[in-house]
Amino acid sequence: MKKYYSCVIFWVAICSFLIFSGQTFAQPQQARCLTCHSDASFTSGYNASTHGHLSCSACHTGIDDIRRHSTGETKSNPVRCASCHSSVAAAYNTDVHAVIQNMTCVDCHQKIHTITRSDQPRKISIQEKCVRCHAPDDYAMMGHGRAVLAGNPDAATCTDCHTLHGTAAMTGATENEQGALREAYTMRCKTCHADPGVAERNNLSTRIADTYDQTYHGKVLQVGHSQRVAGCADCHTGHNTLSSDDPQSAMHPDNLYGTCKTCHTTMHKRFVSFEAHPGAVKGKTYLALHIAEVSMILLLVGVFSFFWLHTCLWWRRAYLDKCRKRQAGFIEDTLAPHCRDEKQVQRFPMSQRVMHVLLILSFFTLVATGFPIKYSETAWAKVLVNMLGGPHMAGLFHRIAALVLCALFLYTLWLSIRFLFPKWQWRGWVGRLFGPDSLFPNLKDLQDIKGMFLWFFGKGPMPKLDRWTYWEKFDFLAVFWGMTAIGLSGFMLWFPGHFSYIVPGWVINIATIVHSEEAFLAAVFIFTVHFFNNHIVPNKFPLEPNIFTGRYRVEAMREERPLEYERMVAEGKLESMKREGPGLWAQLFASVFGLGSLVLGLILLALIFWAVLFY
């Protein structure tokens, strides 16, 4: 029993020694530190501070000999806050305050020995720290800062935009770094301004963010290239987020000209009537923009309703007729091409064929470079823009293609004038305008439309068509309307500042609507109606090559355009129209280029429909 008690007493003594030693190590020589460091800044309030549970040597390491330290022979190691705050220190290593201004933790977290958690709201506490160095008027009294001081919990304080320990530097940054920062700050703005809850509590509209995304700046930023466009802070000048009715606001009417002129160096004062967020301001109406939108919608609905119905009915009737002929044995099913040596009829001269090839190239370039910006939120937009070398290169290609298309339009206009007034002879121009060789509509076209719909439903034969059909005339005349609308609006968007000397800025908003919707009309019409009428219709599928070869068979002329055939025979002109069939290289080009264009157009059409249906 004595032996047992002896063991217990021994272990109790050991544990007591360890406990006493632990207390001594937890606060090594704490009393000795205060013997010398007795200043009130060290002693008063330290125990109640955030770090009060730590001993002196927890931060001031490297003091192995108190005697030598007290005589000044040795000093403690530099305080490393990162020893405990490692994640914060890792973020702060890239902070502008550390990298450029060489600031340490205590520059912001002052009076470190007595520091405690602030009794004020966190946002106000952060703001008060920042304005020690940064001029209060630059932020604290400008928009967000003023709302923070007023106690609005939704208002952004400094770290909501700049982050707490990872503030990036704009000064000295490369163009790509500045673009990345612009994108990051814009996304942070949208975090609050696109939040329905925040918007409702503060009587704002989430359309502020939505309408920015629909601008050129917002669309280019969405595809990942923000170096050349303006973000939120570029127009709202960073910290100055005051309401536009405040005289200090960058958006105030008296200051708006200077704000816009920062980027748009060439502009008239009337440019400021441009609406950067149309429809976003509650209670404000945009009648002209609304009329433009409704007009374009009605145009789209009207054109596509008629021609898509026309296309569906035509395909149904033509396919039924083809099936009946095949069943009757009039059509041989074979994959082998027919080799014919007979003469063919000249339909398009070389100049028109070259024009059409240039038209195809420029049109496809415009669609491939313009629609990724129009539908910038889609997954394929960024991929396509990057393939083209980024928005800057895409814009360059777009403008070059636009100039080519404008040149083709002007040349077509010149040919039309020469057709009406050959050798500048005015006599007989009315007959030429409404004659069979003209692309201008006449009463015969109305009869043909009626006859086609009767044929669609089996109520009559297919009408006899002349050299130009009513759908071909529509295609031709649509160029004049389309090029006027899309061309003029395109130049206005290309040179908005210059056009502000002619029209007020809100006309640029209308130009944006017209350019976008007219481009949609042109692309979808070409890739659906035009492709069907000329290539996908059952009796021509998969390709009508005569626009590339310039010639087609006499039988095709007699079948498709009987009135022209009869007229050429009656006038004795048919023989003079006959030519040798196209050579091997012409046929090869027609097949490769024609089918390639057809496939590419259908791919672009699928991407457009994908954007419309799912975004």
Which amino acid is located at 54 in the chain? Answer: L
CA 439/CA 423 separation, integer angstroms: 20
CA 267/CA 6 separation, integer angstroms: 99
Question: 230-247: per-residue pLDDT in tens?
Answer: 889 888 887 888 888 889
Which amino acid is located at 71 in the chain? Answer: T
Q: Which residue has the higher pLDDT, 242 or 5?
A: 242
What is the number of alpha carbons within 13 Å of residue 394 lying toward its C-beta?
26
In this predicted structure, what is the pLDDT of residue 329?
65
Q: What is the token pair recorded at 589?
A: 């080009």
Whether residue 209 is predicted with pLDDT greater than 60 in this model: the reply is: yes
In this predicted structure, what is the pLDDT of residue 7?
52
- Please give the torsion angle defined by the CA atoms of residues 323, 324, 329 and 331, in that order, rounded to the nearest 10 degrees: -50
Percentages helix, strand, coil for the chain, rounded to the nearest 5? 65, 0, 35
Closest CA to 364 of 192, 131, 523, 574: 523
Helix (H) or strand (E) holding 219: helix 216-222
Q: What is the token pair recorded at 111?
A: 């009076």
In this predicted structure, what is the pLDDT of residue 29?
55
In this predicted structure, what is the pLDDT of residue 39?
79
CA 232/CA 277 separation, integer angstroms: 11
C-alpha distances in angstroms, 72 versus 27, 30, 40? 21, 18, 21
Whether residue 492 is predicted with pLDDT greater than 80 in this model: the reply is: yes
Helix axes 470-482, 443-456, angle to 10 degrees: 120
Whether residue 363 is predicted with pLDDT greater than 80 in this model: the reply is: yes
Using 50, 70 and 90 to split pLDDT, how confident is the model at 283?
Answer: low
CA 592/CA 133 separation, integer angstroms: 68
Using 50, 70 and 90 to split pLDDT, how confident is the model at 284?
Answer: low
Question: 114-153: per-residue pLDDT in tens?
Answer: 888 887 888 888 888 888 888 887 777 788 888 888 889 9
> What mean pLDDT do residues 255-263 have?
92
Q: Which residue has the higher pLDDT, 368 or 615?
A: 368
pTM of the model: 0.83
In this predicted structure, what is the pLDDT of residue 20?
42
> What mean pLDDT do residues 100-105 have?
88
In this predicted structure, what is the pLDDT of residue 491?
97
Counting residues of the chain whose pLDDT is more than 70, the rounded percentage is 91
Closest CA to 296 of 151, 482, 431: 482
Whether residue 100 is predicted with pLDDT greater than 80 in this model: the reply is: yes
> What mean pLDDT do residues 57-85 have?
84
In this predicted structure, what is the pLDDT of residue 336?
39
In this predicted structure, what is the pLDDT of residue 377?
92
Question: 544-568: per-residue pLDDT in tens?
Answer: 999 999 999 999 999 999 999 999 9
Give the DSSP letter string of 141-174.
Answer: TSTHHHHHHTT-TTS--HHHHH-SS-PPP-TT--
In this predicted structure, what is the pLDDT of residue 23?
38
CA 496/CA 274 separation, integer angstroms: 10
In this predicted structure, what is the pLDDT of residue 314?
96
CA 180/CA 135 separation, integer angstroms: 26
In this predicted structure, what is the pLDDT of residue 282?
60
In this predicted structure, what is the pLDDT of residue 204?
86
Sequence-distant (6+) residues with CB within 8 A of 489 are 510, 511, 512, 514, 515, 518
Q: Which residues on adjacent β-strands are paired with residue 346?
A: 551
In this predicted structure, what is the pLDDT of residue 516?
96
Sequence-distant (6+) residues with CB within 8 A of 250 are 235, 236, 237, 240, 242, 256, 259
Using 50, 70 and 90 to split pLDDT, how confident is the model at 227?
Answer: confident
Which amino acid is located at 21 in the chain? Answer: S
Task: Report the range of poorest mean pLDDT among 83-87, 321-325, 355-359.
Answer: 321-325
Whether residue 310 is predicted with pLDDT greater than 80 in this model: the reply is: yes
Whether residue 51 is predicted with pLDDT greater than 90 in this model: the reply is: no
> What mean pLDDT do residues 357-366 have?
97
CA 250/CA 235 separation, integer angstroms: 8
442-449 contacts at long range (C-beta below 8 A, 24 or more positions apart):
445/470, 445/473
CA 299/CA 305 separation, integer angstroms: 10
Helices (DSSP H) in 329-442: which residue ranges?
350-374, 379-387, 391-420, 429-434
In this predicted structure, what is the pLDDT of residue 338?
46
CA 589/CA 572 separation, integer angstroms: 32
Q: What is the token pair recorded at 282?
A: 């509650």
Contact 559, 552 (CB under 8 A): no
What is the number of alpha carbons within 13 Å of residue 532 lying toward its C-beta?
17
Closest CA to 274 of 422, 63, 493: 493
Contact 376, 222 (CB under 8 A): yes
Helix axes 287-328, 443-456, angle to 10 degrees: 60
In this predicted structure, what is the pLDDT of residue 67?
79
Q: What is the token pair recorded at 600?
A: 């590419």
C-alpha distances in angstroms, 599 versus 14, 336, 538, 544, 568? 89, 22, 17, 14, 36
Helix (H) or strand (E) holding 339: none
Using 50, 70 and 90 to split pLDDT, how confident is the model at 30?
Answer: low
CA 402/CA 396 separation, integer angstroms: 10
In this predicted structure, what is the pLDDT of residue 6?
52
SS3 579: strand
Question: 313-347: per-residue pLDDT in tens?
Answer: 999 999 888 888 777 765 554 433 444 446 899 99
Question: 564-573: per-residue pLDDT in tens?
Answer: 999 999 999 9
The answer to whether the Cα torsion of 306, 289, 277, 497 is positive or negative is: positive
Q: Which residue has the higher pLDDT, 475 or 27?
A: 475
pLDDT averaged over every residue in the chain: 87
In this predicted structure, what is the pLDDT of residue 182?
87
> What mean pLDDT do residues 32-57 have?
80
CA 48/CA 535 separation, integer angstroms: 85
